[in-house]
Amino acid sequence: MASILVADDDPDILFLMALVLSRAGHRVTAVADGQAALRAVELRDFDVVVLDQQMPGLTGLEVIVHSSRLGRPDGPPVLVVSAQHDPSLVVAVTDAGAVDFLGKPFRLAVLQERVARRLPLPDPAHDPDPDAGEDRS
């Protein structure tokens, strides 16, 4: 189960993104503005971060730039979602460290797939052997 931060100022979109990702088995933290997103990433570890570009307080790009954890090779992957389909925005967020950009409106299944693609692979050393304890005689 992955830990995912989702930030969007539109309550309906925030609810739907959190719902689809939690139904996929992830722990989702949902916040409604850029300042709350920045606080969350500075205080907790997330496996993936999904940021809306246009939010009150800080934009998704500003959250990446101001965070000491995002946009770094050892930080969580960041997906930016936006109704702005400006190629210069895509370049700016990817230059800042985002790994993906999803234009609004988008299908929730596409979001789920893009998030799944960025999740770390399970570590077999830390996962219990599913066959352990089974008697196969």
DSSP class per residue in 3-36 = EEEEE-S-HHHHHHHHHHHHHTT-EEEEESSHHH
Model confidence, pTM: 0.86
- Residue range 18-26: average pLDDT? 96
What is the spatial distance between Cα 32 and Cα 8, in angstroms, rounded to a whole number? 5
51-109 pLDDT, tens per residue? 999 999 999 999 999 998 898 888 999 999 999 989 999 999 999 999 999 999 999 99
Mean pLDDT is lowest, of 21-30, 92-101, 117-126, for: 117-126
Domains (ranges, CATH) in the chain?
A: 3-118 (3.40.50.2300)
- Asked whether the predicted pLDDT for residue 135 surpasses 80, the reply is no
